[in-house]
Amino acid sequence: MINFQYARANDVADAVRQIAADPGAKFIAGGTNLIDLMKEDVERPSRLIDISRLPLKTVEATAVGGLRIGALVPNSDLAYHPLIKQRYPLLSSAILAGASQQLRNMASTGGNLLQRTRCYYFYDSATPCNKREPGSGCSAVTGLNRMHAILGTSEACIATHPSDMCVALAALEAKVHVTGPAGDRAFALADFHRLPGDTPQLDTNLQPNEIVTAVELPASGFAKNYSYLKIRDRLSYAFALVSVAAALKIEGGSIKEARLALGGVAHKPWRNPAAEAALRGQAADPAVFQRAVDVLLRDAKGFAHNTFKIDLARRAIVRALTQAAQGTPQSQSSKKIR
Amino acid sequence: MNQSPSMERRGTEKIAPPASIAITLHVNGEERKLKVAPWTTLLDALRDRLNLTGTKKGCDHGQCGACTVLVDGRRINSCLTLAVMKDGANITTIEGLAKNGALHPLQQAFIDHDAFQCGYCTPGQICSAAGLIAEGKAKSVDEIRELMSGNICRCGAYPNIVAAIQQAMTAMGGKP
């Protein structure tokens, strides 16, 4: 690993001051992605500012009936938090679908938002990659692209966002709270991550000296009708080929509200308001689900090795919506898909 | 391949070389004071500085689980943690599980069930299983399998590992 300076932040304001003072500095919290990328020579910070001891580790009720999750709440604590399990089981399920328990014990909520793609060319500093080295080209477009995106791609980048947690947060319409030299601001989760366009080096709209302080969940948790269905090459501890967060509100057999977010298919958790609109007011049945899927995947585009993802997504979405409608969410321990 | 300017670190010329940082780790109940460079992982500090070589370096990228140790009672991958970040922490490695010459129930169970062949992943498997039992979330064989998925065994001793963990859970008053 490269050499670097190390400093601890005393409080959030101190963290912001320290990062603004060194353009080569990066924050470190859980370290599960950053240290790995440093070992691969992909991330080369001059200084690590340790924020892991900052008091951002609580889950608190908000005035509007939601929850505010501190940016340093470990993924495992969040997944098993009684209020998350009870009121936002979609989020709990998605977190438990990702990584291993060791990694979830280390990884923070804020760090999960900021984790970088697992595109193998991004990790391999001997190959061109516009995300790692802007302007050098994309090796994946013409290379091995089985794991890559089918929606929202650009000529510059076809990488996917690797998070499971963020897919559930997108479906739940979470907010991301950040602070920086210019003060506090908040993003809708949908506006936090970016599509690659011609600046794939930017994963998010977070500014360089800003720090994520919290994730806020709205009151509505869709605890009755939800499912997180993740399809991958092995049954556990692998990134998604396609994942689906489905959440429904059903009254009298009719869908009052629908949320659908996909992972493993785009540079950000993928939502499509038109697809969700196609579900609202309809009966919760497979023909309706199929129509929403047609809308959602209308512009999907495969590459040499990942065209299978389009059909896989089609089936996974219908299955996840069916599981949600029936109140039988996908188990993350028994891997049978029913 | 040449690196473009964007790949180079900014600001490195302006800063002094980092000094070693004095830290204290409470390892297997013993206070250990040492000086480490900031880039020393907890895994390397344990193995190379404290000579606790029971914890293994497998992939060194958090993918295999051979480096699993308990930090303040929670299982983590020591290869993806900096030693300086764990200053003051309580760390339990495979060397710290046996008490007063008696094997830990997991160690005994791994022997009883022949839960290894080459043994390289075993310290990580056992530390991970100790963390799993402490968490108390695994109530079924499926859940044991899922919550042990961060520990890879290339010899393929998985059925015996699961059986050993079940035995230890029972011996330690857990389920199943």
| Amino acid B19: pLDDT | 76
Give the mean pLDDT of chain A. Answer: 97
ipTM here: 0.97
- Looking at CATH, the fold of the domain delimited by B105-171 is given as DNA polymerase; domain 1 (1.10.150)
For B77, which of A22, A106, A332 is closest by C-beta distance? A106
pLDDT for A237 beyond 90: yes
- Looking at CATH, the fold of the domain delimited by A1-52 is given as 3.30.43
- Helix H segments across chain B? 42-44, 105-112, 122-135, 141-147, 158-171
User: φ, ψ for residue A136 (rounded to 5)?
Assistant: -85, -15
| Amino acid B11: pLDDT | 46
Residues A274-333: pLDDT tens digits?
999 999 999 999 999 999 999 999 999 999 999 999 999 999 999 999 999 999 999 999
Residue B19: CA atoms inside 13 Å, Cβ hemisphere, count?
A: 4
Asked if B18 has any chain A CB less than 8 Å from its own CB, the reply is: yes
Task: Give the mean model confidence (pLDDT) for residues A24-29.
Answer: 98
Picking from B39, B63, B79 by the largest number of A CB atoms within 10 A of its own CB, the best residue to mutate is B39
Domain-wise residue ranges, chain B: 19-96, 105-171
Distance, in Å, from the CA atom of B27 to the CA atom of A236, rounded to the nearest integer, reads 31
Asked if B13 has any chain A CB less than 8 Å from its own CB, the reply is: no
For B77, which of A5, A38, A103 is closest by C-beta distance? A103
Distance, in Å, from the CA atom of A47 to the CA atom of A20, rounded to the nearest integer, reads 12
Asked if A280 has any chain B CB less than 8 Å from its own CB, the reply is: no
Asked if B62 has any chain A CB less than 8 Å from its own CB, the reply is: yes
> pLDDT higher for A61 or B16?
A61
Task: Give the mean model confidence (pLDDT) for residues A111-136.
Answer: 98
Following DSSP, what letter does each residue of A293-309 receive, concatenated? HHHHTTT----TTTTHH
Would you place residue A146 in the very low, low, confident or very high pLDDT band (cuts 50, 70, 90)? very high
CATH number of B19-96: 3.10.20.30
Q: Tell me the nearest-neighbour CA distance from A233 into chain B, angstroms.
A: 14
Domain-wise residue ranges, chain A: 1-52, 225-326
Cβ contacts below 8 Å, chain A against chain B, sum to: 124
CATH number of A225-326: 3.30.390.50
Portion 96-115 of B in contact with A at CB < 8 A: none
| Amino acid B3: pLDDT | 39
Residues A70-79: pLDDT tens digits?
999 999 999 9
Contact yes or no for B146 and A332 at CB 8 A: yes
Task: Give the mean model confidence (pLDDT) for residues A25-42.
Answer: 98
Instruction: Dump strand ranges (E) for chain B.
Output: 21-27, 30-36, 68-71, 74-77, 90-92
Asked if A219 has any chain B CB less than 8 Å from its own CB, the reply is: no
Nearest chain A residue to B21 by CA distance is A6
Asked if B33 has any chain A CB less than 8 Å from its own CB, the reply is: no
For B11, which of A36, A46, A136 is closest by C-beta distance? A46
A114, amino acid identity? L
Q: What is the DSSP letter of A196?
A: -
Contact yes or no for A5 and B15 at CB 8 A: yes
| Amino acid B55: pLDDT | 98
Q: Tens of pLDDT along chain B (176 residues)?
A: 333 434 445 444 455 566 799 999 999 999 999 999 999 999 999 999 999 999 999 999 999 999 999 999 999 999 999 999 999 999 999 999 999 999 999 999 999 999 999 999 999 999 999 999 999 999 999 999 999 999 999 999 999 999 999 999 999 986 44
For A24, which of B9, B39, B65 is closest by C-beta distance? B9
Chain B residues with CB inside 8 Å of A101's CB?
Answer: 75, 128, 131-132, 135, 147, 150
One-letter-per-residue 3-state SS of A309-321: HHHHHHHHHHHHH
Distance, in Å, from the CA atom of A224 to the CA atom of A243, rounded to the nearest integer, reads 20
Q: Tell me the nearest-neighbour CA distance from A296 into chain B, angstroms.
A: 31
CB A27, CB A35: distance < 8 Å: no
B44, amino acid identity? D
Please give the model's pTM, rounded to 2 decimal places. Answer: 0.96
